[in-house]
Amino acid sequence: MTASSGTKKKGSNLPIIGWREWVGLPDFGIEAIKVKVDTGARSSSLHAFDLREFEQEGEKWVQFKIHPVQRKRDVMVEIEARILEYRSVRSSSGKATKRPVIVTQLKLLGITWPVELTLASRDKMGFRMLLGREAFRGRFLVDAGNSYFGGKPKRKNKDKPSQEQV
């Protein structure tokens, strides 16, 4: 098996991922968002801003926006999701905050499964999303010295029209 198809550890049937990967969030129409795979973090977090909570049919929901591409504010996706719960999360700086938690589908190495994501401003962070160990435990092994076992998305050439534009 090649690295791009998900190398497996000897004696294990779990595919290997690196310390950073590209994942999809199909429920949100996001084909690729770069994540930091963090075995030291329990929960996963998605960069979100302009959070607005509301009620719908007796349940709590949140509307929020994300910039799925690092260092690009011109690409924005607006999302609505049901709030599963609120969770106290301690940041890497040691500060605890109460965050809304949502559940959505995540796609990595062709595998799709539901994950819980806390919503927080990650503007100052290097990655728009953090994938904590609860999301990949029992599904993948992490090779902390490598990246992008799932490959990288094709970059769009700004000078050349895409097939959809032709």
* pLDDT tens digits along 92-106: 778 888 999 999 999
Task: Give the least confident one: 68-77, 87-96, 107-116, 153-162.
Answer: 153-162
Tell me what the pLDDT averaged over the chain comes to. Answer: 87
Average pLDDT over residues 71-83: 89
Given the DSSP bridges, would you call strands 77-90 and 59-66 parallel, antiparallel or unpaired?
Answer: antiparallel
pLDDT of residue 11: 55
CA 133 to chain centroid, in Å, comes to: 12
Query: What is the rounded CA–CA span in Å between residue 43 and residue 98?
Result: 13
**What is the pTM assigned to this prediction?**
0.83
**Which position has the higher pLDDT, 144 or 72?**
144
Class of domain 14-140: mainly beta
